[in-house]
Structure 1
Amino acid sequence: MKNQLLNSELSFSKNETEFSLPQWCFELVEWGAEPTTAREFYTDIFQDHLAPHRDRNDYQTGEYTGIALEISREGTKTTHRTTITQDLGELWNIIDTSEKTCFIAPFSYAGKNRTNKNARYMHAMCIEIDGIKGAGGIHELFYSWRREVDPLPQPTYIVASGSGLHLYFVFEKPVPMYPKLFQQWSVLKKQLTRTFWSTYVTTLHNHVQYESLNQAFRMPGTLTKSGARALAFRTGGKVTPQYMNHFALEENRVDLTVKNEHTLEEAKELYPDWYQRRIVNKEERGHFSRYEGIYHNWKKKIYSGATVGHRYNCLENLCALAVQCNIPREQLVEDCNKLAKRFEKLTEEENNHFTQYDIDSALRIYDNPTDNAYRRKVEIVSARTGIPLTRNKRNGRPQKQHVRIMNAVRDVVHPDGSWRVGNGRKSKRDVVKRWRLDHPDGRKIDCQRETGLSRPTVLKWWDAE
């Protein structure tokens, strides 16, 4: 059966199937989608652009590979990663033998970690759609790129992954992922995701799930949650960046003229200290600690603003802020468990509970912090969590310059210095005193959490008269 999914021509009818099928297969065929094998699907995506197979210690600079994940949820959750090279033999082996949950992103990477920083080429953009509105939803989905007025881009493939669909837009040539381009393509994908999740296609149009640009998706030929096998269907031709740009709002279009600002040799001449530290000595980029009140403020935002479809991302961002703000793990775990109970109350569908597995997955960024834990863009955090966030606006000015300008404006508006009245820095002593009056039996740790003050500050003023 697996060999058929990997190599053979796929044909099936409602009465004759050799394996369990995911939802929407027959509806997809009815609207002209052509079933295809996993081998055809991934060969078309990666072509011959990945690095040749080499010994693990024989890495060559400038050669990039795919990264596949096998996840076991029996007992203790484990993840096994596999490097995918040019002949895709490692991928065929996973599809043909694995009984685990298997994922891969249509991206190639430098190194062994699936980080945004290591992403080198996007071979395809993938958009996930859940909550399909039955056969009518499939009809509206296909109509969305066939209509003459305001059409959407036509995907190259659709993968039936269980109960949802994955739309793959395969590029004629892999798209380089310079940092600026990664951000711009992320914005474009967000807009297209919002448009595809229309009220005519999905019942979850008010709970859009925005996946990251290099999100890994379930592999065709491997197991779905229901025990069926994910299947791929061809629906159109390959796309170009210009084609995808055509469907974006002007402010969301990708700047196709963007290139990496400097080659490594140029950077060596321009920034010798940086080159010695980062390239020669291979030192990690430095990080700053943040005020712990930011962590507690985000926690409050989760309680008041988290919605189904964004719960995991809200918790994962809390774990990242715990890293930035040096929050003790014990406190983070306690906060995660309390939030999980809140999240579970929001559950609307039986197969969408918020589980201990979700908590453990979010905690990974705290236990193994990468650069992604420290550096996050407000726009991306807001999109993934569904909680509105706005960046402090300085009109493009550096912070110090902006502060000087605003102070000058303040002194012109209030030349008599009246702005100072009532605006002095409030004593933390009064904050702690007020909290203790309101909570006679309260603990220091509770005061710390609810006020957002640091532990040393609470201890300093706890016994003050």
Structure 2
Amino acid sequence: MSDNIKDKKKNYKEVEQLLSFNYKEVDGEDFYRYVFPNNQNEGEYSENYSKPNSVYLYEDPKDKGTKRKLRRRIMLNDRWKDDYKEFVKDNPMTLCSGLAYRGMRNRLENAQQMNALVFDLDAVGKNELMNLFARIGKKPALRTLPQPTFMVMSGTGLHIYYVFENPIVLYPNIKLQMKALKYDLTFRMWEYKATSMEKQIQYQSINQGFRMVGSKNDKYDLPIRAFKTGDRVTLDYVNQYVDEEKNRVDVNKPFQPTKYTLKESEEKFPEWYQRVVVEGNKRAKKWNIKRDLYDWWLRQSYKVKGGHRYYFLMCMAIYAVKCNIPKKEVREDMYKIFDELKEIEHSNPLEEDDIKSALETYDRQYYNFTIDDIVKLTDIPIEKNKRNYQNQNDHLEEARMIRDLRMKREGRKWTDNNGRPSKENLVKKYVSENPDHTPTEIAKNLKISRTTVYKYI
């Protein structure tokens, strides 16, 4: 047994002793009944989504030697006792998030409610857990944390569960707010040499799946165990601990506010109106982006840090979707870069299964994944556009001065119709130089209408 594995098992034993002394252990079957008390019974499943269900992934021995890694299953209330024993108990690979979904797919776009907000705290030993004990349940202050409902031993760290008294309904805008709240609290919770032995903070989606209680960590052959550390929580209680007010969730704002009526939108944004209202296509519009962006991302691999290797692969798939790169090519590129990434030092080894997991983000729903999200997940800084390190106003002021000087030398004025470039050329030139800008930013910076922007994109 290597020294690394010995250290992991020593930390696990010390954490187990501390948690067992302070809190009561809960088995996996009861744990998920507590988190998801309103799953449907067998036969109730229908197109009526008034009772969404938890969806989990599990490894089936029948798939050994095949390309299929995990199977997906709905957590039905009346079948759960038998299903838990058959599909979860002692299984070397199971995953479940804190969300309940409509239908049978555990994608974020299908998520209907959040039963639990879950955090992953990696590399936790005795000292880190003692520091965590000193912070949880205290009044909101620097680095204090709300009292969690459960602490789950993941094998090398902890999964921190906040189970809500009433599940949070995940309207599209609430999903965005919950993501901001989770990022904020992750930063507060994860502190190197205090609550984690890992330097790099790992930010995760609200849809992240976690090893299930009662299963095993296949990397270290350690059981996933849960301890009841508190009661159910309210959103108001959790909100108190968020550092920035803008990152707190307001359930009274389930949708992004708009200042336009539907009639005004038809006049101002005809392309949007036709696509969304008339045709019923509510997906965000995909821009046609050159593959240069994808190729650029591949060249950033030298910047990857230990805790962000998987997320770099995940964002490879996201950039591939943005740039229309075939999935087969992305898979081949991931395998090429895998050997480089797995040599980056980290307490958890990078494995081939991480490639398969990362490829799941090769999906239409990630078309408009933002630069800020990618920076958070990968910790790789991205310059949004070329402004010579100036802010936007100074950059545009300088650009206009150069433009006016050039026009003066040519004996023309910018306001002259004969020298005025067409709006089509303006838009195309701007987009080629600023491929990541939104139509709103383009319209604002060029001082033209969004309708004109859409016309020439």
| TM bucket, shorter chain | 0.7 to 0.9
Residue 341 (structure 2) aligns with: 343
Look up the match of 2:235: 241
Contact 1:156 1:235 in 2 (8 A): yes
Whether the 8 Å contact between 1:69 and 1:102 is mirrored in structure 2 is yes
On the 8 A contact 2:41/2:79 being kept in 1, the answer is no
Q: Please state how far the C-alpha of 1:343 moved relative to its aligned partner.
A: 0.7
Q: Which residue is 1:182 aligned to?
A: 175
1:18-43 superposed Cα distances (whole Å, 9 cap, x missing partner): xxx9772211122x221122233222
Conserved? CA contact 1:299–1:318, under 8 Å = yes
Which residue is equivalent to 1:60? 48
Q: Deviations over 1:171-228 (max 9, x none)?
A: 1100111122111211211121222222212110x21222211211112122222334
286 and 27 in structure 1: CA distance in 2 versus 1, 3 angstrom threshold: same
Work out whether 1:219 is the aligned partner of 2:221.
no
One of 224, 240, 251 as aligned partner of 1:230: 224
Gap regions ≥5 residues in structure 1: 1-20, 395-401, 426-465
Q: Kindly state the Cα deviation for residue 126 of structure 1 after the two structures are TM-superposed.
A: 0.6
Which residue in the other structure is 1:321 paired with? 319
Aligned positions of 1:229-378 closer than 5 A: 229-249=223-243, 250-260=245-255, 274=276, 277-278=279-280, 287-301=286-300, 303-329=301-327, 331-349=329-347, 352-366=348-362, 369-372=363-366, 374-378=367-371
**TM-score between both structures, scaled by the size of structure 1:** 0.71
Find the residue that maps to 2:166 and give its secondary structure: strand
Q: Is 1:278–1:285's contact at 8 Å kept on the other side of the alignment? A: no
Following the alignment from structure 2 to structure 1, what is the Cα–Cα distance between the partners of residues 408 and 299? Answer: 30
Q: Corresponding residue for 2:29?
A: 39
The answer for the alignment partner of 2:120 in structure 1 is 128
Deviation at 1:67, TM superposition (A): 0.5
1:91 CA displacement = 3.6
- Correspondence 1:56-135 to 2 at 5 A: 58-72=46-60, 74-76=64-66, 77-85=68-76, 87=77, 89-98=78-87, 99-132=91-124, 134-135=125-126
More displaced 10-residue stretch of structure 1: 140-149 or 325-334:
325-334
> Aligned residues: percent identity?
26
TM-score by length of 2: 0.72
Distance 1:247 1:109 in 2: 27
Distance 1:43 1:393 in 2: 52
- Which residue identity does 1:105 align to in structure 2? S
Gap change, CA 1:255 and 1:329, over 3 Å in 2: closer
In 2, the alpha carbon distance for the partners of 1:332 and 1:163 equals: 30
Q: In structure 1, which of residues 159, 165, 168 is the aligned counterpart of residue 158 of structure 2? A: 165
Local SS of the residue matching 2:159: strand
1:338 positional shift:
2.9
**Aligned AA (2:81):** W
Q: Distance in 2 between matches of 1:419 and 1:147?
A: 66
Q: RMSD between aligned alpha carbons?
A: 3.5
User: 2:151, 2:403 → 1: CA distance?
Assistant: 63
1:154 paired with 2:166, answer no
Q: Give deviations 1:356-415, integer Å, cap 9, x for gaps.
A: 22223323444xx3322x121222221111212355699xxxxxxx99x98787445653
Q: Residues 419 and 233 (structure 1 numbering): CA distance in 2 closer, same or farther, change over 3 Å?
A: farther
Cα deviation, residue 115, structure 1? 1.8
Please say if residues 158 and 233 of structure 1, whose CA atoms lie closer than 8 Å, have aligned partners that are also in contact: yes
Paired AA for residue 30 in structure 2: E
| Uncovered stretches (5+) of structure 2, i.e. residues with no partner | 1-11, 267-272, 411-424, 426-457
Rounded to whole Å, the distance in 1 between the matches of 2:54 and 2:360 is 22
Q: Which residue of 2 aligns with 1:5?
A: none
Equivalent residue for 2:421?
none
Residue 144 (1) aligns with residue 135 (2): yes
In structure 2, what is the Cα distance between the partners aligned to 1:233 and 1:63? 27
